[in-house]
């Protein structure tokens, strides 16, 4: 079986003038090489294809693959993670991880919360603010947390994201709308502990393989800067036994409500009463063998990188009947 690997290589974009922030979600060559090596160890033939531009060129040249292992984040718009799955669908080429609808939905944190909340999953109250005038309609209880509605890797989250007054709210919302050209998601702040749970599988076969608590020094938000320097700012620890079952249940219920497949992560935080609430889902979780959250938490439960990759491929092949 020949497997193509699709990805957004950070250096490819940096060489073309994009900034470090623009490319914060993109991968290094070491991640792609680790995926490639892992797939080859399983006996597959592989081809490193690249980003959406390179996929289109390859397809136009007549190339085909039996399966595509897709970790491409995309570049523009709130459907950017959906681009490669949508292209592959048109060519009837199967791929690992979720399809365009789930990818687009999960990138929009507001719509994701609407879906999981309807399934009975606890979430923090919030509103979407698309224009500054909508701030006057905000009746949420301070303190509030403000972030872009469709960003990942902590982009748009700073120490100023936590606001305590209408003036601070207005300033932060204006910044988000202007800087990221998208609505701001405003939520009642969850002051409790923060967790992320790893999921492997789809539907009834999905399982929470483990999770970890994220503890940031000096109460820093889990921003893009903190994530890129996690060894300096963060402590990761396995889920405590008293909270593990609740975290796993919220994560699995959210995953199934969204219809996500194969593998990913669900981020959670406790409210002021200690109840675990859904924050966001990541059906396209990072897969750097050393530095990405999913491999990190997997190792805490005795699942090494090769084992994790084999679990992901088993899920995909079962789902696709390959």
Task: Give per-residue pLDDT as tens, 14-34.
Answer: 998 888 877 888 999 999 999
Name the strand (E) or helix (H) holding 47: strand 45-50
Three-state DSSP at 175 gives: helix
Asked if the model's pLDDT at residue 108 lies above 90, the reply is yes
Asked if the model's pLDDT at residue 255 lies above 90, the reply is yes
Q: What is the pLDDT of residue 217?
A: 80
What is the Cα–Cα distance from 135 to 120, expressed in whole angstroms? 27
Regarding predicted confidence, which is higher, 136 or 82? 82
- The model's pTM: 0.93
Asked if the model's pLDDT at residue 224 lies above 70, the reply is no
Asked if the model's pLDDT at residue 221 lies above 80, the reply is no
Q: What is the pLDDT of residue 140?
A: 96
Q: What is the pLDDT of residues 160-217, one digit of tens each?
A: 999 999 999 999 999 999 999 999 999 999 999 999 999 999 999 999 999 999 998 8
Three-state DSSP at 121 gives: coil
Q: What is the pLDDT of residue 273?
A: 94
CB-based contacts of 199, cutoff 8 Å, min separation 6: 206, 207, 208, 209, 251, 252, 255, 260, 263, 264, 265, 266
Q: Is the dihedral of CA 89, 278, 164, 161 positive or negative?
A: negative
Residue 30 carries which DSSP code? H
Average pLDDT of the segment spanning 289-302:
96
How long, in residues, is the chain?
322
Q: Copy the structure tokens of residue 54.
A: 């390179």
Q: Residue 285 — very low, low, confident or very high, per pLDDT cuts 50/70/90?
A: very high
Q: What topology does CATH give the domain 191-320?
A: D-amino Acid Aminotransferase; Chain A, domain 1 (3.30.470)
Asked if the model's pLDDT at residue 233 lies above 80, the reply is no
The residues pairing with 264 across neighbouring beta strands, listed in sequence order, are 199
Asked whether the bond before 233 is cis by omega within 30 degrees of 0, the reply is no
Domain regions of the chain by residue span: 2-96, 126-188, 191-320
What is the Cα–Cα distance from 250 to 245, expressed in whole angstroms? 9
What is the Cα–Cα distance from 102 to 112, expressed in whole angstroms? 9
Q: What is the pLDDT of residue 35?
A: 98
Q: Residue 4 — very low, low, confident or very high, per pLDDT cuts 50/70/90?
A: very high
What does the mean pLDDT of the chain come to? 94
Q: What is the pLDDT of residue 31?
A: 97
**CATH top-level class of 2-96:** alpha beta
Q: Residue 226 — very low, low, confident or very high, per pLDDT cuts 50/70/90?
A: low
Q: Percent helix, strand and coil across the chain, each rounded to 5? A: 40, 25, 35
Share of the chain above pLDDT 70, in %: 97
Q: What topology does CATH give the domain 126-188?
A: Dna Ligase; domain 1 (3.30.1490)
Q: Do the domains spanning 126-188 and 191-320 agree at the CATH topology level?
A: no
Give the full edge-to-edge strand order of the sheet including 276-282: 234-238, 207-216, 194-200, 263-270, 276-282
Average pLDDT of the segment spanning 120-140:
94
Q: How far is CA 48 from CA 42, 104, 115, in A?
A: 16, 24, 35
Asked if the model's pLDDT at residue 291 lies above 70, the reply is yes
What is the Cα–Cα distance from 158 to 161, expressed in whole angstroms? 5
Q: Residue 222 — very low, low, confident or very high, per pLDDT cuts 50/70/90?
A: confident
């Amino acid at each position: 079986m020949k497997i193509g690997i699709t990805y957004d290589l950070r250096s490819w974009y940096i060489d073309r003038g994009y900034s470090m922030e623009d490319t914060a979600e993109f991968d290094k060559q070491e991640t792609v090489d680790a995926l490639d090596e892992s797939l080859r160890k399983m006996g597959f033939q592989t081809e490193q294809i690249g980003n959406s531009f390179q996929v289109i060129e390859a397809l136009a040249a007549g190339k085909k693959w039996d399966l595509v292992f897709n970790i491409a984040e995309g570049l523009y718009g709130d459907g950017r993670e959906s681009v490669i799955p949508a292209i592959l669908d048109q060519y009837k080429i199967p791929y690992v991880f979720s399809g365009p609808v789930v990818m687009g939905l999960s990138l929009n944190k507001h719509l994701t919360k609407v879906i999981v909340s309807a399934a009975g999953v606890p979430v923090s109250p919030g509103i979407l603010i698309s224009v500054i005038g909508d701030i006057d309609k905000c009746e949420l209880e301070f303190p509030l947390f403000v972030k872009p509605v469709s960003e990942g890797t902590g982009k748009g989250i700073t120490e100023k994201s936590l606001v305590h007054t209408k003036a601070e709210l207005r300033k932060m919302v204006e910044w988000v709308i202007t800087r990221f050209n998208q609505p701001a998601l405003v939520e009642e702040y969850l002051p409790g502990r923060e967790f992320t749970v790893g999921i492997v599988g789809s539907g009834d076969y999905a399982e929470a393989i483990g999770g970890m608590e994220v503890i940031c020094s000096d109460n820093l938000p889990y921003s893009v800067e903190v994530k890129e320097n996690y060894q300096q700012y963060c402590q990761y620890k396995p889920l405590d036994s008293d909270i593990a079952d609740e975290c796993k249940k919220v994560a699995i219920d959210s995953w199934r409500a969204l219809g996500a497949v194969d593998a990913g992560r669900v981020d959670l935080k406790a409210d002021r009463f200690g109840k675990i609430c859904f924050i966001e889902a990541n059906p396209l979780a990072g897969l750097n063998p050393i530095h990405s959250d999913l491999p990190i938490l997997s190792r805490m439960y005795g699942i090494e990188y090769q084992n994790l990759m084999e679990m992901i491929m088993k899920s995909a092949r079962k789902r696709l009947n390959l």
